[in-house]
Amino acid sequence: MLKYSIVVPFHNEEDNVTTLYDRLKGVMDQVGETFELVFVDDGSRDRTYRLLEEIAAVDSRVMVIKLRRNFGQTSALAAGFDHAQGEFILAMDGDLQHDPQEVPTFLAKLEEGYDVVSGWRVARVDNVMLRQIPSRAANWLMAKLSGVDIHDFGTTFKAYRREVIQNIPLYGEMHRFIPALASWYGASICEIPITIVEREHGKSHYGISRTFRVFFDLLTIRFLLKYMTRPLHFFGTIGALGMMGGTFMAMWLLVLKVATGQNIMLLHGPLFVIAGVLILAGVQMMGIGLLGELQVRHFHTANNRAPYAVDRILRLRSSEESLLQ
């Protein structure tokens, strides 16, 4: 097995591909261990894939995965993780804002025994109002909700042990919450400061709309961390409270009817309706909880369904591998 896998998703980064490859290769050659570079083309419309194809044609340590369309960063990372062969896996962006010179620091922390090493963008260079302030608020809230004490969940620049990252299902935009999901599996997590520089070429794919989506994802993560394996505890509690409240109201109205002979619908019609709605809603919530339990069972059944579709995979076989064929 290879020692290290470096996974890099690209989307319309033709100006950065060759430079990043040269820098990464130079850094990993100095590390002195076996490695591979897993480059994922996430449906680029420029010359990104052509350049990656040229790189893979001359370097057997490079694997290029071409997705059929733009599936998004999380799916591109999932494709890279699924095909990576290294014992330790590091992910980074392909826009040169992540400095390859910092890769050995991540790898050293993994060697110390940590399962997840997360980058911390201490001094950010993006827009203060549109990016930095919303990001800090989201990171603070995420740390409180997940119980993982790190400052920066959003950066892609992270390193993982293979057995940890392969146990985490990735879909939607969940890549930023990998530390929180890994903590559910008992992973040890640390954080190291990283330097972020201005993009040398190309245009950022991030905007304020992405920040708003993060807050919705926070609710999902909170639910997953606390009730992922026991959804009936969440929905069942709400359902039980609803049924108890509705039943109490209905019993009180029944006693009132028997004791006083009042016209309940005329005098207490709204309360009677509320009681019926609470009981019905409670039953429905209990049913949702039971359906959730079935989904959990399905989740823990191997289905091997990936959130992406691969068009082709390129890799030049080394001379040693050719001799063994």
Which 3 state secondary structure label does DSSP give 138? helix
**Is residue 44 within 8 Å of residue 10, measured between CB atoms?**
yes
What's the whole-model pTM score?
0.73
Run of H or E residues at 281: helix 264-299
Q: Domain-by-domain residue ranges, the chain?
A: 2-228, 231-299
| Residue 195: per-residue pLDDT | 84
Q: In what order do the strands lie in the sheet containing 310-315?
A: 189-194, 116-121, 158-161, 86-91, 2-10, 35-41, 62-67, 310-315
The CATH number of 2-228 is 3.90.550.10
Tracing tokens 């050293």 back to the chain, one arrives at: 108
Helix axes 208-227, 231-260, angle to 10 degrees: 80
Walk along the chain (325 residues) and give the pLDDT tens digit of each residue. 799 999 999 999 999 999 999 999 999 999 989 999 999 999 999 999 999 999 999 999 999 999 999 998 889 999 999 999 999 999 999 988 899 999 999 999 999 999 999 998 886 655 556 566 766 777 777 777 777 878 888 789 999 999 999 888 787 677 878 888 888 778 899 999 998 776 665 555 555 555 566 666 667 777 776 777 778 888 889 999 999 999 999 999 999 888 888 888 888 888 989 999 999 999 999 999 888 878 766 765 555 556 677 888 888 765 444 444 4
| Residue 138: per-residue pLDDT | 72
| Residue 292: per-residue pLDDT | 82
| Residue 323: per-residue pLDDT | 40
Instruction: Enter the DSSP assignment of 288.
Output: H
Q: Which amino acid is at 267?
A: L
**Is residue 306 within 8 Å of residue 74, measured between CB atoms?**
no
| Residue 182: per-residue pLDDT | 86
**Is residue 20 within 8 Å of residue 94, measured between CB atoms?**
yes
Beta-bridge partners for 312? 66
Q: Which amino acid is at 317?
A: R
Report residue 82: phi and psi, to 5°: -65, -30
Give just the sign of the alpha carbon dihedral 6, 67, 204, 207: negative
Instruction: Enter the DSSP assignment of 16.
Output: T
Beta-bridge partners for 66? 41, 312
Which 3 state secondary structure label does DSSP give 291? helix
